Structure 1
Amino acid sequence: MERIKVVEIIADADLGGGPSHVFGLLKSLDQKKFEPFLICPEGQLSNKVSQIKGVTIFHVPFKSKFDIVSLFELQNYLTKIKSSHDPFGPMVVHSHGTRAGLFTSKVAPQSAFRIYTEHRWDADYHLKNPMTEFWQKFMLRRVLRRMNRVIAVSSSVQSFLINNDLATKEQAIIIPNAIELQTPNSKPRAIKAANRAPVIGTIGNLNPQKGQIYLIEAMEEILKKFPLATLEIVGEGELKESLKFKVESLKLERHITLLGRQKNVEKFFKKWDVFVLPSVAETFGIVVLEAMNAGVPIVATRVGGIPDIIENRKNGLLIPSRDSKQLAKAVIELLDHPALAAKLKRGGIERVENFDWQKVIKEIEKVYTVPFDLE
């Protein structure tokens, strides 16, 4: 059977949510059926993908939405891919994010099946400048009108796209993010019950959407019950200095540590008693899957795509966003009730199996093959 050429296009060079998704997709894709390509800026993503045998990588900087040089480079690469062996064969062009979608919508071959995945926008996500937000949504609407299929990573993203007339019901489908599951032998051992010096952890970019400020405030209440408790915050971002100032103003330097960006987050999951995701906006929350997979009980806010993953009191605790008191109450409940924590850990390990790349990739591959009747 002829292989379908699949071109993944993304304008991000780091290993955040969207790029991490693209890496997992390319690593899991069945190369007996698909010939994979990646077009992205030089950086962490392309370096990591270069380790996957069989993936051809082209670099385009995508410096801004007005980058004419990048537009022509993308067009040349897509033409080159299309005109290589079997130029009349099936081809999928799959863009991730508004900027990549904007470029792709202008120069993708007409015969290619065009797919777009939205990783960021839902009803909770907003930009600082309302006019910038308006124009981004306006551009996204134009982009999606030129796509054959739109993938939303959660129900909140799908609802946002449909309710704002950015995509049609027929066009937008839900395929969640995924992770590569640990083998059972690599799961961490259960944490001892009645830990009087618990370690609480969170991971995320230090920006307003991630809500770390509320977790820092919650530590005041948590320390009344567990005076030896500590909080570790993993991540970098624009709020680093203001969060550091908040910690100092509350005189919590002995209890809260900002660890910056870390390459190996697995080692932190293994020592944390509770993982907290205090986001005020979160289209999916792949880090929740990672915490579940590591066997850490979770407290997370009921925003965006989080309720797609967590069922309250079955595999995690859901709380309102922007509420430090409720956050503290939930963390204290888990630390005070080891049996509940153990129940949520078991539920999380069971739940995360639904988000294994080996399962999710089959849904994506079906989207790639259906238009060509090659299932």
Structure 2
Amino acid sequence: MRIVQIIDSLEVGGAERMAVNYANALAGKISFSGLVVTRKEGNLKSKIEQKVNYLFLNKKKTLDWKAVLKLKMYCEENSIEMLQPHSSSYFIAVLVKLIYPKIQIVWHDHNGLSEFLSSQKWIPLKIASFLFKGIIVVNYQLKNWAVRELNCKNVIYLPNFTSKEIDVKSETVLKGNSGKRIVCLANLRHQKNHLLLIEVAKKLKINYPEWTFHLVGKDFEDEYSRELKNSIFSNKLYDSVFLYGSRADIVNIINQSEIGILTSRSEGLPLVLLEFGLYKKAVVVTNVGEIPIIIQDKKNGLLVPSENVELFYNSIILLIDNPPIREKLGEELFNTIMKNNSEKGVLDDYLKWLKEI
């Protein structure tokens, strides 16, 4: 097989990391594994393995025929059989297929707004789906929606997978006290609901002022970002809540923390949850998207209803006050990830499915 992953950028995000993960993992299993980035490079470029064939299109606008023709030539020169666009990058893959019909498209849907699918405007995607050979989704809600609404019936659920980082330089030094850090790895977007984190931080500062929150993720410098920063300042949390922006050395950051959290209103299958498990961190997370399929409350993590500040706060206190519970939950989450979200298991199912369609 000769397969190319397509992603819009290499900024640190769930879909972006999975595009890199697939390209890296497939490089040792198929005859050609490529990764094409359409719009913007970023921190994840350093994580692409040498055996992956890489192309940057430097796409400037939505309908950029120069980029489309460049991708078509790349497919011809390398005898590519299949394009696997992730999230919104399906558009350029469809344009290539219109002028190079022999290419097949398998769209990989990472839509984190799975709770709000009915409110999205999907007309362009519905039209494009006539040209899809298959669709990969990261949770069952997305699968049901795709089967019902899109024009491609070869739909498979494949959980995200993660693998340990190698050769990533440790650069980020977290502020605060060692052994008393709580980390949230999520781009600054409304759906990630960092404002719930702020409410928890306000309560935690009263009785546990030495514990600090560390927010790592892309800052879009938009209205949501400004609201978050204003909230930190107005509540005098500048010595309790720290922002770091997008960082590449995620494992280094995780290893400097004691507790991992996600306060999201909506999720698909967050890759960071798998990474917390891979490095045996206890987690407090909201019960949205595919998270409850991974996290069994009080068995391998603590699960909290979305928007519930009091329960989220109490869950963090439980972990702060009980290091043995933190250790046990981290070990159990590690076991869960190894059993259900290993690279080998997911790729075996993926390659089998490709052969069948």
Instruction: Give the TM-score, by structure 2 length.
Output: 0.85
What's the counterpart of residue 43 of structure 1? 41
Whether 2:63 is the aligned partner of 1:78: answer: no
Q: CA deviation at 1:24?
A: 1.2
What's the counterpart of residue 208 of structure 1? 190
Q: CA deviation at 1:31?
A: 4.0
Could you say if the C-alpha distance between residues 70 and 304 of structure 1 is closer, same or farther in structure 2, counting changes exceeding 3 Å? same
Is the 2:57–2:71 Cα contact (8 Å) retained in structure 1?
yes
What's the counterpart of residue 307 of structure 1? 292
What's the counterpart of residue 166 of structure 1? 150
Could you say if the C-alpha distance between residues 308 and 145 of structure 1 is closer, same or farther in structure 2, counting changes exceeding 3 Å? farther
Give the superposed CA RMSD: 2.7
Whether 2:115 is the aligned partner of 1:118: answer: no
Identity %: 22
What's the counterpart of residue 92 of structure 1? 82
What's the counterpart of residue 191 of structure 1? none
Query: Could you tell me how far apart the structure 2 residues matched to 1:246 and 1:313 are?
Result: 31
Whether 2:352 is the aligned partner of 1:366: answer: yes
SS in 1 for 2:213: strand
Could you say if the C-alpha distance between residues 225 and 33 of structure 1 is closer, same or farther in structure 2, counting changes exceeding 3 Å? same
Q: Runs of 4+ in structure 1 displaced over 6 angstroms? A: none
SS in 2 for 1:156: helix
Q: CA deviation at 1:46?
A: 8.0
Instruction: Give the TM-score, by structure 1 length.
Output: 0.81
Q: CA deviation at 1:197?
A: 7.5
Amino acid at match of 2:346: V
What's the counterpart of residue 16 of structure 2? 19
Deviation digits for residues 122-162 of structure 1, max 9, x if unmatched? Answer: 432579xx7xx42xx11111122211110001223223323
What's the counterpart of residue 226 of structure 1? 208
Is the 1:197–1:230 Cα contact (8 Å) retained in structure 2?
no
Alignment of 1:1-375 (within 5 A): 4-29=1-26, 31=28, 33-41=30-38, 43-44=41-42, 47-48=45-46, 51-53=49-51, 55-82=52-79, 91-98=81-88, 100-108=89-97, 109-120=100-111, 122-125=113-116, 133-134=120-121, 137-163=122-148, 165-166=149-150, 170-181=153-164, 198-238=180-220, 239-353=224-338, 354-371=340-357
Amino acid at match of 1:370: E
Amino acid at match of 1:207: R
Is the 2:12–2:44 Cα contact (8 Å) retained in structure 1?
no
Could you say if the C-alpha distance between residues 361 and 52 of structure 1 is closer, same or farther in structure 2, counting changes exceeding 3 Å? farther
Is the 1:281–1:303 Cα contact (8 Å) retained in structure 2?
yes
Amino acid at match of 2:35: L
Could you say if the C-alpha distance between residues 64 and 162 of structure 1 is closer, same or farther in structure 2, counting changes exceeding 3 Å? farther
Is the 2:260–2:284 Cα contact (8 Å) retained in structure 1?
yes
Is the 2:5–2:22 Cα contact (8 Å) retained in structure 1?
no
What is the number of residues matched between the two proteins? Answer: 340
Query: Structure 1: 5+ residue runs without aligned partners?
Result: 83-89, 184-194
Could you say if the C-alpha distance between residues 256 and 107 of structure 1 is closer, same or farther in structure 2, counting changes exceeding 3 Å? closer
Could you say if the C-alpha distance between residues 40 and 113 of structure 1 is closer, same or farther in structure 2, counting changes exceeding 3 Å? same
Query: Could you tell me how far apart the structure 2 residues matched to 1:63 and 1:332 are?
Result: 48
| Higher deviation after alignment, 195-204 or 240-249 | 195-204
Q: CA deviation at 1:267?
A: 2.7
Q: CA deviation at 1:357?
A: 1.8
Query: Could you tell me how far apart the structure 2 residues matched to 1:162 and 1:45 are?
Result: 35
Query: Could you tell me how far apart the structure 2 residues matched to 1:229 and 1:145 are?
Result: 52
Q: CA deviation at 1:275?
A: 1.0
Is the 1:122–1:160 Cα contact (8 Å) retained in structure 2?
no
Q: CA deviation at 1:224?
A: 3.7
Deviation digits for residues 223-266 of structure 1, max 9, x if unmatched? Answer: 34423222122223134432221112112222222223333232
Is the 1:155–1:308 Cα contact (8 Å) retained in structure 2?
no
Query: Structure 2: 5+ residue runs without aligned partners?
Result: 167-176
Is the 1:235–1:260 Cα contact (8 Å) retained in structure 2?
yes
Could you say if the C-alpha distance between residues 46 and 57 of structure 1 is closer, same or farther in structure 2, counting changes exceeding 3 Å? farther
Q: Which has the greater radius of gyration?
A: 1
